[in-house]
A and B are shown apart, each in its own frame.
Chain A
Amino acid sequence: MSSSIETLVNREYAYGFVTEVDADTLPPGLSEAVIRLISAKKDEPEWLLEWRLKAYRRWLTMKEPHWPNVTYGPIDYQSQSYYSAPRSVTPLQSLDDVDPELLKTYEKLGIPLNEQKFLSGVAVDAIFDSVSVGTTMKEELKAHGIIFCSLGEAVREHPELVQKYLGSVVPHSDNFFAALNAAVFSDGSFVYVPKGVRCPMELSTYFRINSEGTGQFERTLIVADEGSYVSYLEGCTAPKRSTNQLHAAVVELIALKDATIKYSTVQNWYAGDKQGLGGVYNFVTKRGKCLGANSKISWTQVETGSAITWKYPSVILQGDNSTGEFYSVAVVNNHQQADTGTKMIHIGRNTKSNIVSKGISAGHGQNSYRGQVKVMPKATGARNYTQCDSMLVGNQCGAHTFPYIEVGNNSAQVEHEASTSKIGEDQIFYLKQRGLSAEQAVSMIVSGFCKEVFKELPMEFALEAQQLLGITLEGSVG
Chain B
Amino acid sequence: MLEIKNLHASAGDREILRGIDLTVNAGEVHAVMGPNGSGKSTLAQVLAGHPAYEVTEGSVTYEGQDLLSLDPEIRAQQGIFLAFQYPVEIPGVSNAYFMRAAYNEIRKARGEEEIDPISFADLMDEKMKLVEMDSDMLSRSVNTGFSGGEKKRNEILQMAVLEPKLAVLDETDSGLDIDALRIVAHGVNSLKRPDNATIVVTHYQRLLNYIVPDYVHVLAGGRIVRSGGKDLALELEAKGYDWLLEEAVA
Contact = CB atoms under 8 A, between A and B. Distances in A.
A450 B91 CA distance: 10
Interface in B60-104: 71-73, 75-77, 81-82, 84, 87-93, 98, 101-102
Interface stretch (A27-35, A201-209, A430-438, A457-465): A430-438
B158 interface: yes
Contacts, number: 78
Interface string B178-221: 00000000000000000000000000000000000000000000
Nearest to B83: A433
B11 interface: no
B92 A433 contact: no
Contact of A434 (B50, B51, B89, B98): B98
A448 interface: yes
B105 interface: yes
A interface, over-half SS: helix
Given A2-B71, A440-B101, A444-B101, A433 B82 contact: yes
A426 B88 contact: yes
B51 A429 contact: yes
A434 B158 CA distance: 9
A433 B48 contact: yes
Given A433-B76, A433-B82, A436-B101, A444 B71 contact: no
Given A2-B71, A425-B52, A436-B102, A448 B76 contact: no
Contacts of A424: 88
Contact of B92 (A425, A430, A436, A449): A449
A409 interface: no
A477 to B, nearest CB: 11
Q: For this complex, into which size category does the number of interface residues on chain B fall?
A: 20 to 34
A435 B51 contact: no
Q: Which size class do A's interface residues fall under? A: 20 to 34
A258 to B, nearest CB: 33
Contact of A432 (B71, B81, B141): B71
A450 B92 contact: yes
Nearest to B99: A434
B33 interface: no
B73 A437 contact: yes
B176 interface: no
A448 B102 contact: no
A453 to B, nearest CB: 10
A79 interface: no
Nearest to A426: B88
A9 interface: no
A449 B92 CA distance: 6
B201 to A, nearest CB: 15
Contact of B90 (A437, A438, A445): A445
Interface of B: 48-52, 71-73, 75-77, 81-82, 84, 87-93, 98, 101-102, 105-106, 109, 141-142, 158, 162
The 3 closest A-B pairs by CB, nearest first: A448-B92, A448-B93, A435-B105
8 contacts: A427-B89, A430-B84, A430-B88, A431-B98, A433-B76, A434-B102, A435-B162, A447-B92
